[in-house]
Structure 1
Amino acid sequence: MPDDLSLLIEAAREAGEIATRIAGPDARRWDKPGDAGPVTEADLAVDTHLRQRLRGARPGYGWLSEESEADPTRLTARDVFIVDPIDGTRSFIEGSKTWAHSLAIARDGEVTAAVVYLPQRDLMYVAEKGGGATLNDAPLTASARQDVDGAEVLIAKPGLAPALWPNGVPPITRAYRPSLAYRLALVAEGRFDAMLTVRATWEWDIAAGALLATEAGALATDPTGAPLRFNSPTGQTRGILASAPALHPALRPAVPGA
């Protein structure tokens, strides 16, 4: 039986084969209730495969996925799969290549194994707790930037609203990618100095990427600097800030309710 990380890698490749057989712009799609965004037949096909593949191999693990019905029994499981079948569904629909499969395993609230896979770019990001992070088997090292002035940060425009920065919006260079998992992978790769989101964030969007970032040497917390914990009752965090460690204090916004 493969170890947890090998299992995630194999499952991610299988997910890529399923998703790439369905052309995004031609995929059947519909909108989720409650303005929760679009979903396609590819999202559901990948979710079904991953649920059967992963839980078939680890029947005692809990399950948390964007496209599966809530299963409260996960809260009593020590280990849980946290999965986004396709992170960046809108990009998938548009025919872009910047969508990803995000697969993680958390034990007692901490991610222990993670894969972010972009099949149409042949990018396989992998991390294991205490074992480092790699891209296509090459080790990753996050940015060691010291100066926030001009730092390249992946952040949506609302994250730079002046109300969030009482001492002034930091003098960063803003960039954006639609997939949160990919943004975190890019921080792990050192291609960007940081990424930040200040809205409530689903765990399946960030669990795998958070381990990639920290194992590459970045610091990943919620926007207030508090540690990230996974498999929570809500399945959400307050947001996420992953950055070169020296930049972290300067990139913490004022988060409502914090």
Structure 2
Amino acid sequence: MPEPDTAHQTDLALLLAAAERAGEIARQYWRQDPVAWEKDAGAGPVSEADLAVNAFLEDNLRGTRPDYGWLSEESEADPSRLDAEFCFIIDPIDGTRAFIDGQQGFSHSLAIAQGERIVAAVVHLPVMGLTYAAQADGPATLNGAPIGPSDAAIAGASVLTYRAATEPQHWVGGIAPPFRREFRPSLAWRLCLASEGRFDAALSLRAAWEWDIAAGALIAERAGAAVSDIHGAAMRFNSPRALVPGLVVAGPRLHAELLAALATGPVSPHHRTE
């Protein structure tokens, strides 16, 4: 049996190859008016491209690692994943609404958990030619080059979050901190952008689905960012509900300042305002 580092490297190579092929499939549908519809219970849109990418990934990844569990936004729940030592955590297309609209900022988010911890991760934006990757005990990279977060303080920081997160009731004293709000359609990409310092933080007060953030969380951690839920606790993955109570991802100084300023718990992941 290979040593753990070797196994993680092999898993990362598997994810990188699968993400590249997923991008090729998605581009066949992008700006081609793909069939799309809304999921039940306000869970957002899905398209034929999401399902095609998901089918490829499940066949390819599970075919290669049949003993790994499977958790994907576009697959039926499989409780057996909770008993597996390793589990794939997949969002075939993160930013589906942007994809349907013909925007470039959608991604494929692929991760592998060992127990509750992510050990290999890839976030790939095929149209933009961006591939973020990390493995346990290794660096985080963008297109092969190491990345790291900024050292910004909260005043004037650029924070990737949705509009409602700046409402006063979420903040101590009823006043949002003096940061500059930005937005990108893919949550996985937002974590990566904070990881590389192009933006100073990624913040969500909403409970987040694991498939949206698993890969980005490891990439941010290995880049040197501080990564937690909105209570400051470490994120745990492959959980029964597949939810994390919000997220704060930033350089260590800004991360601490954001946590200190927060005054609210997470709201439902289905509550979508942007």
With structure 2 as the length reference, what TM-score do the two structures score?
A: 0.91
How far the C-alpha of 1:78 sits from its partner, in A, is: 1.3
Aligned equivalent of 1:26? 33
What is the aligned length?
A: 257
Aligned equivalent of 2:165? 159
Q: Which residue, 83, 86, 89 being the options, matches 1:79? A: 86
Residues 1:172 and 2:188 are matched in the alignment: no
How far the C-alpha of 1:23 sits from its partner, in A, is: 2.7
- Tell me the alpha carbon deviations over residues 10-34 of structure 1, each in whole angstroms, 9 at most, x when there is no partner: 0000100101011345001111111
Q: Percent same amino acid among aligned pairs?
A: 52
Structure 1 stretches of at least 4 aligned residues deviating more than 6 Å after TM superposition: none
| CA distance in 1: counterparts of 2:266 and 2:50, whole angstroms | 33
| CA distance in 1: counterparts of 2:25 and 2:128, whole angstroms | 15
- Tell me the alpha carbon deviations over residues 108-150 of structure 1, each in whole angstroms, 9 at most, x when there is no partner: 11100000000001101111111011111111111122x2110
State the secondary structure of the residue aligned to 1:63.
Answer: strand
Q: Which residue, 227, 239, 247 being the options, matches 1:240? A: 247
| CA distance in 2: counterparts of 1:69 and 1:84, whole angstroms | 13
| CA distance in 2: counterparts of 1:257 and 1:245, whole angstroms | 21
For structure 1, which runs of at least 5 residues remain unmatched after alignment?
Answer: none
| CA distance in 1: counterparts of 2:31 and 2:67, whole angstroms | 34
Q: Which residue, 155, 160, 163 being the options, matches 1:149? A: 155
Superposed CA RMSD in Å reads 1.4
CA contact (8 A) 1:153 1:175 kept: yes
- Tell me the alpha carbon deviations over residues 145-180 of structure 1, each in whole angstroms, 9 at most, x when there is no partner: 2x2110111011111111110232111011110110
State the secondary structure of the residue aligned to 1:153.
Answer: strand
Opposite residue 157 of structure 1, the aligned amino acid is R
| CA distance in 2: counterparts of 1:28 and 1:256, whole angstroms | 36
For structure 2, which runs of at least 5 residues remain unmatched after alignment?
Answer: 1-6, 268-274
Aligned equivalent of 1:4? 11
| CA distance in 1: counterparts of 2:71 and 2:31, whole angstroms | 24
Q: Which residue, 255, 263, 270 being the options, matches 1:254? A: 263
Out of 185-194 and 165-174, give the one that drifted further. 165-174
| CA distance in 2: counterparts of 1:202 and 1:149, whole angstroms | 29
With structure 1 as the length reference, what TM-score do the two structures score?
A: 0.97
